[in-house]
């Protein structure tokens, strides 16, 4: 790359790091029931050397995500000795490496300008910022999709294809399923349908040498699940078959409303890509891609065919999603934004080859957008708000300062009922810093109560009735954050 391109690369990487490292350094990262549960599971696997064959729940009764998420969490658990923020640094590093690898892939397969344009799209993206450090199983899917896109491009571009690419393709499909079951259930059949429609890839996929390699690749991520199935009388298989043949819908909708709902969902995916969630930006990128395709498709035949493949893939994902008539949550297609981004990249790459002046001007405009994003962030008066991991650490630090390293009683109310988040923090501080594990029973006639806010006040009232002795009186109360209060109760 020339000096000015290297300078742009450094600027865009700086923007990328600025928007992602801030929340991590401030500990204002998502820390909910799911994170507490998953961190506890990873610690259990490390401390007890106890493997698992199934992952967290999907929201469908009896159906779970794959166990690979827990095995992935074991890495930061070991690297950071269980430090809560360590999991987020790990997820950030994973996402950064995936995006850098994809940048260099675009640079190699297309050109420098297209690779830089990719960075300009993702650096200040309101969707891609939080997903790049969130410690959740679905947050891994976007990174897998980048590999899926890269392998698909190689399959479409290369005349002589190394067979291991077919195996890797299968792995990406299998791992998407294991990290986000809903997306995998849609993506796997849609890929094979799309491959059947597009002649350029059909001949490479649908033959006796290729199909077994892809199938083996898909099945390998399923191995822990298969062991779980054998041990539990094929519970997952029965659940999936039952879900397909006789789904239990919580909020069934007529197909006209389903269609409107999916349009809204896909528009939401598109809107979440550009800074400011600005629809005109999406309209501009769509016009740019359509113009490039229709004007230069004969000159850029291969790129146009790749574009056709991903357009069909995305369209078929939309169409097959219409079959599902219940509530459609955005994380069902976690990371699909990368498909849209890549479609825009293909349109841009055509202009980059055919008219570098236009391509350069467009790149500079989007660099300006990133600059404005930084300016807007710096000029906005910061609101001092503690939330996520920082909030619960502040609560625990307050309790620890009151109890030092002595035995103490702690009772916790959280809306999710099971306070996994606090339990993980307690276990970490006990193991690393020597603090005591709290008891439910009063110690020295005292007990601390952590009360999280709940819009359904009656639930807090009922919990208090069940957990406050009749002879206890409130002797101290501290509003640690707007969302959490710590109370000290003493027996008369």
Tens of pLDDT along 127-160? Answer: 999 999 999 999 999 999 999 999 999 999 887 7
Query: Based on the domain organization, do 209 and 251 belong to the same domain?
Result: yes
Residue 339, classed as helix, strand or coil, is helix
Q: Which domain holds residue 183?
A: 3-379
Query: Based on the domain organization, do 478 and 365 belong to the same domain?
Result: no
- Residue 104's pLDDT band, with cuts at 50, 70 and 90, is very high
Indicate whether 335 belongs to any domain: yes
- At residue 274, φ and ψ (nearest 5 deg) are -80, 155
Tens of pLDDT along 237-293? Answer: 888 887 777 777 777 788 889 999 999 999 999 999 998 777 788 888 888 888 888
- Degrees to nearest 5, angle at CA 231 with 226 and 233: 90
Query: Based on the domain organization, do 204 and 287 belong to the same domain?
Result: yes
What is the mean predicted confidence (pLDDT) over 50-78?
A: 90
Q: What is the pLDDT of residue 254?
A: 86
Domain final residue, candidates 379, 397, 418: 379
pLDDT at 383 over 70: no
What is the mean predicted confidence (pLDDT) over 182-202?
A: 93
Query: Based on the domain organization, do 253 and 134 belong to the same domain?
Result: yes
For residue 436, count CB atoms less than 10 angstroms from its CB and return exposed for 0-12, middle for 13-18, buried for 19 or more: middle
The fraction of the chain above a pLDDT of 90, given in percent, is 72
Indicate whether 9 belongs to any domain: yes
Query: Based on the domain organization, do 26 and 166 belong to the same domain?
Result: yes
d(CA 162, CA 141): 25
Q: What is the pLDDT of residue 158?
A: 82
Indicate whether 96 belongs to any domain: yes
Indicate whether 384 belongs to any domain: no
Q: What is the pLDDT of residue 179?
A: 96
Query: Based on the domain organization, do 68 and 124 belong to the same domain?
Result: yes
Contact assessment for residue 425 and residue 394, using Cβ atoms and an 8 Å cutoff: no
Query: Based on the domain organization, do 279 and 423 belong to the same domain?
Result: no
Tens of pLDDT along 332-361? Answer: 999 999 999 999 999 999 988 888 898 999
Contact assessment for residue 92 and residue 337, using Cβ atoms and an 8 Å cutoff: no
Indicate whether 415 belongs to any domain: yes
Query: Based on the domain organization, do 423 and 369 belong to the same domain?
Result: no
Indicate whether 37 belongs to any domain: yes
Number of domain units in the chain? 2
- Residue 364's pLDDT band, with cuts at 50, 70 and 90, is very high
Query: Based on the domain organization, do 373 and 486 belong to the same domain?
Result: no
Tens of pLDDT along 13-47? Answer: 999 999 999 999 999 999 999 999 999 999 999 99
Domain final residue, candidates 329, 361, 379: 379
Buried b (16+ CB within 10 A) or exposed e, 440-470: eebbeebbbbbbbeeeeeeebeebeeeebee
Indicate whether 234 belongs to any domain: yes
Beta bridge partners of 411: 449
Q: What is the pLDDT of residue 491?
A: 95
- Residue 222's pLDDT band, with cuts at 50, 70 and 90, is very high
Tens of pLDDT along 413-444? Answer: 998 778 999 999 999 999 999 899 899 999 99
What is the mean predicted confidence (pLDDT) over 176-201?
A: 94
- At residue 227, φ and ψ (nearest 5 deg) are -65, -40
Query: Based on the domain organization, do 240 and 182 belong to the same domain?
Result: yes
Q: What is the pLDDT of residue 219?
A: 96
| CA–CA distances in Å: residue 185 to residues 66, 163, 228, 242, 448 | 13, 25, 19, 14, 46
Query: Based on the domain organization, do 275 and 414 belong to the same domain?
Result: no
Domain final residue, candidates 379, 401, 429: 379
Query: Based on the domain organization, do 300 and 268 belong to the same domain?
Result: yes
Nearest to 152 by CA among 143, 141, 165, 139: 165
Indicate whether 293 belongs to any domain: yes
């Amino acid at each position: 790359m020339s000096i000015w391109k290297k300078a742009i690369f450094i600027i865009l990487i700086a923007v990328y790091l600025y928007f992602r490292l801030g929340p991590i350094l401030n500990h204002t990262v998502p820390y909910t029931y799911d994170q507490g549960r998953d961190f506890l599971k990873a610690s259990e696997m490390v401390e007890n050397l106890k493997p698992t064959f199934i992952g967290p729940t999907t929201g469908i009764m009896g159906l779970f995500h794959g166990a690979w998420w827990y095995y992935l969490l074991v890495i930061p658990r070991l690297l950071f000795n269980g430090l809560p923020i360590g999991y987020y640094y790990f997820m950030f590093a994973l996402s950064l490496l995936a995006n850098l690898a994809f940048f260099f892939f675009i640079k190699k397969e297309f050109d420098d300008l297209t690779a830089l344009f990719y960075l300009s799209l993702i650096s200040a993206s309101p969707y891609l910022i939080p997903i790049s450090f969130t410690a959740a199983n679905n947050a891994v899917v976007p990174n897998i999709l980048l590999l899926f896109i890269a392998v698909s491009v190689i399959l479409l571009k290369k005349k002589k294809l190394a067979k291991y690419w077919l195996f890797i393709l299968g792995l990406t499909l299998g791992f998407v399923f294991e990290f986000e079951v809903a997306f995998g259930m849609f993506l796997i059949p849609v890929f094979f349908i799309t491959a059947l429609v597009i002649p350029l890839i059909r001949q490479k996929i649908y033959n006796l040498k290729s199909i077994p390699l892809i199938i083996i690749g898909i099945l390998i991520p399923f191995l822990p699940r298969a062991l779980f199935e054998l041990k539990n009388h094929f519970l997952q298989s029965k659940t999936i078959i039952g879900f397909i043949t006789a789904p239990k819908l919580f909020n069934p909708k007529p197909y006209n409303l389903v269609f409107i709902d999916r349009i809204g969902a896909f528009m939401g995916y598109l809107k979440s890509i550009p800074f400011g969630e600005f629809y005109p930006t999406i309209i501009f990128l769509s016009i740019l891609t359509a113009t490039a395709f229709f004007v230069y498709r004969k000159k850029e035949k291969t790129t146009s065919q790749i574009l056709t493949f991903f357009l069909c893939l995305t369209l078929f994902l939309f169409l097959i999603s219409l079959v599902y008539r219940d509530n459609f949550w955005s994380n069902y297609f976690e990371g699909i934004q990368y498909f849209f981004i890549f479609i825009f990249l293909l349109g841009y790459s055509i202009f980059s080859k055919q008219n570098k002046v236009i391509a350069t001007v467009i790149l500079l405009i989007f660099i300006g957008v990133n600059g404005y994003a930084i300016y807007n962030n710096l000029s906005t008066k910061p609101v001092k708000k503690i939330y996520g991991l920082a909030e619960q650490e502040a609560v625990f630090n307050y309790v620890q300062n009151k109890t030092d390293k002595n035995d103490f009683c702690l009772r916790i109310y959280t809306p999710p009922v099971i306070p996994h988040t606090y339990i993980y923090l307690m276990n970490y501080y006990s193991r690393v810093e020597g603090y005591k594990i709290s008891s439910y029973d009063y110690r020295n006639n005292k007990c601390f109560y952590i009360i999280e806010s709940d819009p359904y006040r009656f639930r807090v009232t009922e919990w208090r009735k069940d957990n406050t002795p009749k002879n206890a009186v409130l002797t101290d109360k501290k509003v640690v954050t707007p969302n959490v209060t710590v109370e000290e109760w003493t027996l008369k």
